């Protein structure tokens, strides 16, 4: 006669508890990572809105054209900001992100994340005396946010596995 461990009530109860714990830990880990992802996404948008408001305060109309005020030279990080007077680029870096920034010209308060680039962009209209004159586009690198999300996923999965190993 063979010994069957599943006939023992204690073994079956332990197996049920371990499966329930694994499901609960999996759900909690998933929920945590979704929450962190959404919070990070909101933080990116808030940072872009703040930068856009800061940069807009440094835009003026001089000689009928949009320009940045001289004080902008002291700005903390204006390397990923573009100013368009109508469809004409007034200021901003050249490079691969310029095409994505240019695609937002004429948009009204729009966020976008171009697929190939690790950036998130935000476009805001520039008004002068109630008339729309151009578009300001700001961007941030999403690499630090993506790295933090990967780290959070990895750490939360390791923690869940360790808890399951300790209990099991």
pLDDT at 137 over 90: yes
Which phi and psi angles does 146 have, rounded to 5°? -65, -40
pLDDT interval class at 166 (50, 70, 90): confident
pTM of the entire predicted model: 0.79
Reading the block at residue 138, the tokens are 């700001």
Strand 119-128 relative to strand 110-112: parallel, antiparallel, unpaired? antiparallel
* Average pLDDT over every residue of 45-63: 90
* Distances 63 to 17, 60, 67, 105 between C-alpha atoms, Å: 75, 10, 9, 22
**Confidence (pLDDT) at 74:** 56
Q: Per residue in 76-98, pLDDT tens?
A: 456 789 999 989 898 888 888 88
Return d(Cα 141, Cα 120) in angstroms, integer: 7
pLDDT at position 106: 87
Please report the pLDDT score of residue 77 as a whole number. Answer: 53
Looking at residue 53, its pLDDT comes to: 92
Closest CA to 136 of 62, 57, 71: 57
């Amino acid at each position: 006669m063979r010994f069957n461990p599943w006939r023992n009530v204690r073994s079956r109860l332990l197996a049920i508890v371990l499966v329930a714990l694994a499901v609960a830990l999996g759900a909690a880990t998933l929920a945590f990572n979704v929450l962190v992802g959404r919070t990070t996404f909101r933080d990116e948008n808030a940072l872009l809105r703040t930068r856009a408001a800061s940069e807009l305060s440094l835009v003026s109309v001089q000689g009928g054209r949009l320009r940045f005020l001289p004080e902008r030279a002291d700005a903390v990080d204006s390397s990923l900001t573009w100013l368009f007077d109508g469809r004409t680029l007034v200021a901003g870096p050249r490079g691969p992100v310029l095409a994505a920034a240019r695609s937002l010209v004429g948009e009204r308060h729009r966020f976008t994340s171009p697929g190939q680039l690790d950036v998130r962009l935000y476009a805001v209209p520039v008004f002068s005396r109630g008339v729309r004159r151009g578009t300001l586009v700001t961007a941030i690198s999403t690499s630090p946010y993506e790295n933090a999300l990967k780290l959070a996923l990895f750490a939360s999965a390791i923690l869940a596995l360790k808890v399951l190993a300790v209990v099991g």
